[in-house]
Structure 1
Amino acid sequence: MAAISCTLLVDDDETTNYLNQTLLRRMAVTDAVLVATNGQEALDLLHTHCVPVATPSCPALILLDMKMPRMNGAEFLQAYAQRPPGENPAVVIIMLTTSLNPLDVARMQDLPIAGYLTKPLTREKVNRILHEHFAR
């Protein structure tokens, strides 16, 4: 069994999702990977896979892009926080971004996330997430 039962990738770039999915599978760190291309799709997946929240298909890790159409990362977090507490899993949310703009970094400090990483996702960054948040 992998360290993470299920991971949710939320990014509007299909190539990024493919590469991240491939990396996570090659590293064998997650049993399942769900993919959403915007925040609304991610909320829909949580509704489908987290009832009840203790199911193995409910994500324990969400890798969330900041800038997406329809519903961006910050809007997703706001909507996630408004869901009934019994519907939200205990999840580690990591913001993935291409931006090192000081204003974007400052905005991320105010979001309810466990941390942020710059893209691309690498083996070292995944290992850091595992070490810091999943005791592995």
Structure 2
Amino acid sequence: MRTLHLGLRVTDLDRSLTFYTAIGYETVGTVPETPIGQLTMLKLPGDEFVSVELVHDGNPVERGGDVSHLVVQVESMADTLAVLAAHRIEPVAPVQDHDQGMKTTFLADPDGRRIELVQWPAGHADGMTAVDFSHKEIEK
């Protein structure tokens, strides 16, 4: 089994597409009429498959919705923030430098959902694995 994608309800499809394409997502395809609304499938250039589905039914989305946050890996935090600034998208939190060189910050999409940008340190795997948690004690 594997996770296929995350579906996000959006209030304004055009505004959301402008935001997500500025981050780097590209449209793979659309399904114009479904029982839950119009579906727009997105993926990042380095992804093989769709990872985000924008769901638009014309209704307003409660600020933030039911999603805590979406995480996007970037190669260079500085370069990514420069590209986003050119699209008038600014982080909502300062860049944090973590152990071993990891950097993170947060954006907010047009419907208020948080998107975490992560720059892994050199040599880190492209995703999180058990190794990332081997030195952390699990709290109960």
**Under a length normalisation based on structure 2, what TM-score does the superposition of the two structures give?**
0.30
Structure with more relative contact order (C-alpha pairs < 8 Å, separation 6 or more): 1
More helix by share: 1
**Under a length normalisation based on structure 1, what TM-score does the superposition of the two structures give?**
0.31
More strand by share: 2
| Higher Cα Rg, which structure | 2
